[in-house]
Amino acid sequence: MMLQLREVRYRYAGGNRDILAGIDLDVEAGQVLGIVGPNDAGKSTLCLVAAGLAPATIGGRLDGSVRLGGAETRDLRPYEAAQRCGVLLQRPELQLTGTAETVFEEIAFGPRNLALDLPTVVERVEWALAALNIEDLAPRDPKHLSGGQAQLVALASVLALRPPLLVLDEPTGQLDPAGTRLLADALLSLASNRGTAILIVEQRTGLLARLADEVAVLDGGRIVARGPAAAVLSSPVLDEVGVEPPPVVRVRRAVEAAGLGHRLGGLDLDAIDRSWPPGTADATDIVLRRERAPDTATGEAARWEAVDFAYPDGTRALSGVDLGLGEGAVVGIVGQNGAGKSTLVRHLNGLLRPTIGQVLVRGRSVEGRHVAELAREVGLAFQDPDRQIFAGRVASEVEFGPRMLGRSGQPLADAVRMALAAVGLEDLAEAVPFDLGYAKRKLLGIASILAMETPIVVLDEPTTGQDAVGLARLRGLVAALAADGRTVITISHDMRFVAETTERVVVMGDGRVLADAMTTDVFAEPGWPILRSTFLEPPLPARVGTRLGLGSTPTEAALVAALLA
């Protein structure tokens, strides 16, 4: 048995309750066990305990038995536990050394510390790079990677150690669909060919449907269900605890709830869901066929004119970007990891300045304008909330922005209260931000932007780590901002979220704008070559609608409406 937990209880240092409250768990060699649950269920804590990191490195109280490869973790030194178990944390950038000059050196760090000979180190690094299809990143500076690229590099660093057990906490949180599929392929290969045991915490239940042998549901620090993946992931228990079921289950339920199950006929939804290969369409040809979305908004919120941008290490992140967004528009920006999405929006508030070209915000160039001035017009919630959060109290974090804009007294208090309520954190105003789970810290970063009431709101990967309740809240938030006339720009790898919340989609690849069209057009079959070229995929309802000859049906609601028509 590679991992065995018996009656495990764990409480953080200074805590007043058990985060894990009697966990019994086994993972055998070659087995993939998926863990799902709502936010604050104890999933990340379970990973820390299973990997031997808690309480060994972070303190706290552990009761019960945790065994790695037959040995009690309390009897293992950290380096001994590390040889038995490789762990990927929810924030992968924290696992990068910060000292390596290239990605190759970063991945080699672990094997070198195992005192392996040079040929073996090189072989392992090259194997890990190839397994995740990131060979092109080998010479890159790790400090200038996108969030998704950093996640892949951190995972490759763990894989290169070739531990007998992998513990992965939200490993696809920042990955594009292609990266997610490559990860699944790599993990399946490790489990079947090398006998690697894998414990994986994941909100993308569609991935677990393909990858996991079994799934356990964690809620309130307890396992409330466990069984074969297909049975658990289609069980009502997911709805009861607040976890979104896989796309296949959602589509089937939506159609059957409308009394239209017979219309699906003999369609194999699982096969459709798994049969989307990344393409190799000629991006040059795609640019020539780009269609600009009709813009009914009055005035322009933002414009990039012939913008190029290169990072100090020479990495060219934007190339010839021409793009305009109207005031009041709700736009999704999509593209594979490293496409330039985050780089693009950081030009709006002056965090980055174009190497060539100019950027305009509400009709005025950003050149010569200070970040503090632009902050009155553009609110940007970072992809990584911990690069944004700094205060010792949730309410203080949210009030900082509007206070810097000159607000005080009751208007300031009202802004803080409404922002916290919008993201569901109103009961945590006095909490310490860094005591919150990752998903709540994401929401806190968004709240701190909402309180500033800027006319332009940018959300960079807002859905990362969110459970069903958090996703529903974010969908409602985007709708409310749109109803208020704000311009909303959402960067996301969650194609379902993009389809449900935006009216227009900008597709990026290799630092260029490849497509700019209405959401329904981008996800319709004629737009699929562009998505393939950027290693994206349309939501499952769009593919099902196309198979049934229904036209563009990017959401479950659109699919049902087309079936009823």
pLDDT tens figures, 204-222: 999 999 999 999 999 999 9
Integer angstrom CA distances of residue 358 from 42, 314, 318, 322, 479:
47, 20, 12, 10, 30
| Contact in structure between 244 and 467 (CB atoms under 8 Å) | yes
Q: Which of 533, 521, 525 is nearest to 284 (CA)?
A: 533
Residue 255, pLDDT > 90, answer yes
**Least confident stretch, 174-188, 330-344, 392-406, 501-515:** 174-188
Backbone angles phi, psi at 3, to 5 degrees: -140, 130
What is the pLDDT, as a whole number, of residue 289? 43
CA distance linking residue 216 with residue 348, whole number of Å: 43
| Contact in structure between 38 and 241 (CB atoms under 8 Å) | yes
What is the mean pLDDT of the segment spanning 380-401?
95
What is the pLDDT, as a whole number, of residue 277? 61
Name 522's Cβ contacts closer than 8 Å, sequence gap at least 6.
505, 507, 515, 530, 531
CA distance linking residue 65 with residue 55, whole number of Å: 13
Per-residue tokens: 40: 């604050």
* pLDDT, tens digit (0-9, with 9 covering 90-100), for 259-284: 999 998 889 999 999 887 655 444 44
Residue 433, pLDDT > 60, answer yes
What is the mean pLDDT of the segment spanning 368-396?
95
CA distance linking residue 205 with residue 35, whole number of Å: 9
Mean pLDDT of the chain: 93
Integer angstrom CA distances of residue 219 from 7, 43, 263, 305:
16, 9, 36, 49
What is the pLDDT, as a whole number, of residue 298? 60
Q: Which residue has the tokens 């922005």?
A: 401
SS (H, E, C) 302-337: EEEEEEEEECCCCCEEEEEEEEEEECCCEEEEEECC
CA distance linking residue 215 with residue 199, whole number of Å: 10
What is the pLDDT, as a whole number, of residue 288? 33
Across the beta sheet with 364-365, the strand order is: 316-326, 300-310, 356-361, 364-365
**Least confident stretch, 41-55, 121-135, 173-187, 340-354:** 173-187
Strands 20-27 and 3-11: antiparallel
Residue 10, pLDDT > 60, answer yes
| pLDDT band at residue 490 under the 50/70/90 scheme | very high
Name 38's Cβ contacts closer than 8 Å, sequence gap at least 6.
219, 241, 242, 243, 467, 468, 469
Residue 47, pLDDT > 70, answer yes
Residue 295, pLDDT > 60, answer no
Strands 214-219 and 61-68: unpaired
Residue 296, pLDDT > 60, answer no
Domain 3-238 carries which CATH code? 3.40.50.300
Q: Looking at the domain 281-375+456-465+491-517, which fold is it?
A: Rossmann fold (3.40.50)
Burial 326-342 (b: 16+ CB within 10 A, else e): bbbbbbbbbbbbbbbbb
* pLDDT, tens digit (0-9, with 9 covering 90-100), for 75-102: 998 888 988 999 999 888 888 998 999 9
Residue intervals of the chain classified under CATH 3.40.50.300 are 3-238, 281-375+456-465+491-517
CA distance linking residue 212 with residue 221, whole number of Å: 21
What is the mean pLDDT of the segment spanning 170-193?
90
What is the pLDDT, as a whole number, of residue 5? 98
What is the mean pLDDT of the segment spanning 173-198?
91
| Contact in structure between 33 and 215 (CB atoms under 8 Å) | yes
**Least confident stretch, 73-77, 361-365, 501-505:** 73-77
| pLDDT band at residue 182 under the 50/70/90 scheme | confident
What is the mean pLDDT of the segment spanning 378-402?
96
* Radius of gyration of the chain measured on its C-alpha atoms: 23
471 CA to centre of own chain:
12
What is the pLDDT, as a whole number, of residue 310? 95
Integer angstrom CA distances of residue 239 from 13, 20, 139, 243:
32, 21, 45, 6
What is the pLDDT, as a whole number, of residue 265? 82
